[in-house]
Amino acid sequence: MKNIAILGSTGSIGLNSLSIIKNYPSHFRAYALVSNKNYRLLFQQIIEFRPKFVYIHNPKSLNKLNKLLNTIEHNTKILSYNDGIDSIISKKNIDIVIAGIVGSAGLRWVISSIKYNKKILLANKETLVMAGPFINMLLKKSKAKLLPVDSEHNSIFQLTNKLNSQQIKNINDVLLTGSGGPFRKKSLSYIKLATPTQAVNHPIWKMGAKISVDSATLMNKCLELIEAHNIFNFPFEKYKVLIQPEGVIHGIVNMKDGSSFAHMYNADMKIPISNVLFYPNYNSYMSSNINFSKLKQINFEEPRHNIFPSIKLAHEVLKQGMSAQIALNASNEIAVASFLDKKIKFLDIFKFIQSSL
């Protein structure tokens, strides 16, 4: 039995994780839940999963959660900002941490999880964009293990795990695929006027608002290039981005002998999450395969670099170094929040990032 801490339990990654845990009660137990504002959903999760510990970040939500908890009998200890992050992560019984908080708020939780030698399932890519080299340095000194949840990185992880050292040396390049987001086919004049509702309406994945906007700007692929660079040991030039609108191929490894390995499944985050949850054991999660005859075709195209400068930005900041990566991540996060608040227009996100850099 493995005890799990789910960081961001009320979010998209958190809900997918809980739905796996629920189906494997003899393997996994939701031991600690962490969230920010959504006290109503957290309350439901406390009733359903009976965690030992809960941390809620937002003070107003903490008050409201406590009021709800006064109406039931429970044995959950409620922690908050004043108790600190270590107070939860340091618990000896926690075996696995699912890092599913969105944005830079996730960084300190990952640092704490490394400090306490946890197995970390990393969805929070911003951590590696802000602090990749620092995180890798901490990992070297710790017994913690960091495993990728992000679908592209999880696919590359699974593919390269199946290759021997001779084959690894003979990799030509690694393709990070992306669906292209909701504006893949839209005209520049449409994109200029795009609303938050249109931007978060992702054609393939159902995800949180921030990553959905990142998918629409292709900044998600920018962040993922930097993420990949910090997880795997290939030179940066080896990573390429390719748009694959059906969202069935999640990673491709091209070999020097002309062959390619592609990792495929129906877009469902429970597949990569369960892969690393069970790792190093075989993934016992059951799901249906792609129905290839129904799918009929798989298309590929290059990103529209003239409209979306995101991929170029990844190359730029990696050349410039850590301060540029921190500035890129922070300015993107603020710009996306401002766009969602209707304070700036969609394409202003790029202007904001570029001027910050």
Enumerate binding residues for ligand NAP (CB under 6 A): 8-14, 34-38, 57, 100-102, 105, 123-126, 150, 205, 207-211, 269
Q: Which residues are registered as beta bridge partners of 171?
A: 255
Residues 69-108: x where in contact with Mn ion by CB under 5 A, - otherwise, as a string: ----------------------------------------
Picked from Mn ion, ligand NAP, none, the partner binding residue 180 (CB below 5 to 8 A depending on kind) is none
**Considering beta carbons, is residue 38 or 158 the nearer one to ligand NAP?**
38
Contact 179, 307 (CB under 8 A): no
Tokens for 264? 């495929």
What count of Cα atoms within 13 Å lies in the side-chain half-sphere of residue 234? 24
Identity of the residue, 112 or 325, whose beta carbon is nearer to Mn ion in the bound complex? 325
Shortest distance in whole angstroms from residue 103 CB to ligand NAP: 6
User: How large is the C-alpha radius of gyration of the chain?
Assistant: 20
Q: How many residues bind Mn ion (CB under 5 A)?
A: 3
25-48 in b/e form (b: 16+ CB < 10 A) is: eeebbbbbbbbbebbeebbebbee
> Tokens for 105?
């708020």
As measured in angstroms, the least distance from the Cβ of 273 to ligand NAP is 9
User: Which tokens is 15 given?
Assistant: 């809900």
Task: Pick one of ligand NAP, Mn ion, none as the site partner of residue 232 (Cβ within 5 to 8 A by kind).
Answer: none
Q: How many CA atoms lie within 13 A of 198 on its CB side?
A: 13
Q: Does 150 bind Mn ion (CB under 5 A)?
A: yes
Structure letter (DSSP) for residue 288: P
Nearer to ligand NAP by Cβ, of 119 and 250: the residue is 250
> Integer distance in angstroms from the first to the last C-alpha of the chain?
47
Q: How far is the CB of 76 from ligand NAP (least distance, A)?
A: 16
- Bond prior to 280 in cis (omega within 30° of 0): yes
* Cβ at position 132, least distance to ligand NAP in Å: 14
CB closer to ligand NAP, 171 vs 245? 245
Partner from Mn ion, ligand NAP, none binding residue 207, C-beta < 5-8 Å depending on class: ligand NAP
Q: Judged by CB, which is closer to ligand NAP: 13, or 32?
A: 13
How many C-beta atoms surround the C-beta of residue 280 within 10 A?
Answer: 9
Tokens of 30: 């939701």
With CB atoms as reference, the residue minimizing the distance to ligand NAP is 11
User: Judged by CB, which is closer to Mn ion: 152, or 246?
Assistant: 152
Nearer to Mn ion, 29 or 152 (CB): 152
Distance CA(290)–CA(98), nearest Å, equals: 27
Instruction: Report the interface residues with Mn ion, using CB under 5 A.
Output: 150-152
